[in-house]
Structure 1
Amino acid sequence: MILGTVAAAVAVAGAGTVGYTLSETNSTASDSASPSSTSWSTTPAPVASAISVTASDFSLETLTEEKECFGSAGCVVTISIQPTFLGSPAALMNRSFKVLYWVDGGESPILEKFTMTGTRATIDSGIVVATDSSDAEITATVTQVIETTDGT
């Protein structure tokens, strides 16, 4: 059961800049009057769409928002997730993804999703999980990342 939607910036592990490498070489002939020549060599920055984004590029933390227990009948726990992107920040530039993940630790696994546009995530909040006991550990694991063209 989903209770709402929130938008958040995804934590990005590591940071860096992407650019071009320019090198200049001057050559002059000592015996001739030829002018020096300059040559430029460029190493293009990785194209974002060429950088693969996979399930292993994400880490999910589950946050317990509410917990109501009913003795031997188990508990109803409301959780939210907090994703962290572990890959290169350049991989997210000008791209959109649908990220599918499993929530485990309840009576039944739950398949959920969030969307990403750049480093901004739109996450369904308030995922309700029924557990067998108050000691159940609820986890979330990304299983699939699908690139989209419209942010959905």
Structure 2
Amino acid sequence: MTDTDLPPMPPMPPVPPNDPPRPAKKSRTHLVIIGSAAAVIAAVVATGVVVVQSGGVGTKPATTAESNVDNTDAVTADAPDPGPTYSQVDADSFAVGLKTTARQCFGTAGCTVTVEPDLTFLGDSEGIDPDAVYEITYEIHGDESGPVIETAELSNRTNLNYTPSVISTASAGTEVTADITDVSLQGG
């Protein structure tokens, strides 16, 4: 028998593909940006809740006290007790650095950086009025859009209330710095 004597091969049905074609893989950049934005919003809401639950910044409860002690011998009418004196607090009284708490870089598209102020009083902290609330305004340098101005509140000499700042830098190597521009007594 020769090849020409063989009957023709029956036609084969088309073979279906094993896997359907996969859609193109989408970039996760949008998810990262949305996740970062959600984290910042959550931090702002949490800070607001803490401030509200603590009774607000700078509020003092009214206090009254009566004494039955006769102090006429201890204090004379000519020399009233002036009470403690505190230092004049201004922008030169503090130094500010920035603590980076998050960084997400996108190759040549730059980075999203979250920073918090790291405040240092340049004198004896006993010189700060413990009952005063100071508004400390600082300017952050390094954002692609230009300087970012933020404000922190200092109370009880050591309690610093602020909102973390989210900025965009041109690259991972961009230096982010801050300078204090103003310090004012709240309500003063």
Fold match (TM-score > 0.5): yes
Q: Give the deviation of 1:45 after TM superposition.
A: 7.3
Q: Give the structure 2 partner of residue 72 of structure 1.
A: 108
AA in 2 matched with 1:141: D
Q: Give the deviation of 1:68 after TM superposition.
A: 1.1
AA in 2 matched with 1:86: L
Q: Give the deviation of 1:64 after TM superposition.
A: 1.1
Aligned length: 113
Cα separation, 2, equivalents of 1:113 and 1:102: 9
Q: Give the deviation of 1:52 after TM superposition.
A: 1.2
* Structure (1 or 2) with the greater strand fraction: 1
Q: Give the deviation of 1:63 after TM superposition.
A: 1.1
Name segments (4+ residues, structure 1) moved above 6 Å: none
Deviation readout 1:84-127 (Å, 9 max, x if unpaired): 111332233321111100011121210000011131211212x1
**1:124 match: secondary structure:** coil
Say which of 142, 151, 161 aligns to 1:122. Answer: 161
State whether residues 98 and 145 of structure 1, in contact with CA within 8 Å, keep that contact through their aligned partners in structure 2. yes
State whether residues 95 and 149 of structure 1, in contact with CA within 8 Å, keep that contact through their aligned partners in structure 2. no
Q: Give the structure 2 partner of residue 93 of structure 1.
A: 130
Cα separation, 1, equivalents of 2:110 and 2:104: 9
Q: Which has the larger radius of gyration?
A: 2
* Structure (1 or 2) with the greater helix fraction: 2
Deviation readout 1:72-95 (Å, 9 max, x if unpaired): 111111111211111332233321
Which residues of structure 2 form unaligned runs of 5+?
1-36, 52-81
Q: Give the TM-score normalised by structure 1.
A: 0.64
Q: Give the TM-score normalised by structure 2.
A: 0.53
Cα separation, 2, equivalents of 1:55 and 1:46: 22
Q: CA RMSD in A?
A: 2.6
Q: Give the structure 2 partner of residue 61 of structure 1.
A: 97
Cα separation, 2, equivalents of 1:73 and 1:136: 12
Which residues of structure 1 form unaligned runs of 5+?
8-43
Q: State whether structure 2 residue 120 is matched by structure 1 residue 84.
A: yes
| Percentage of pairs with the same residue | 30
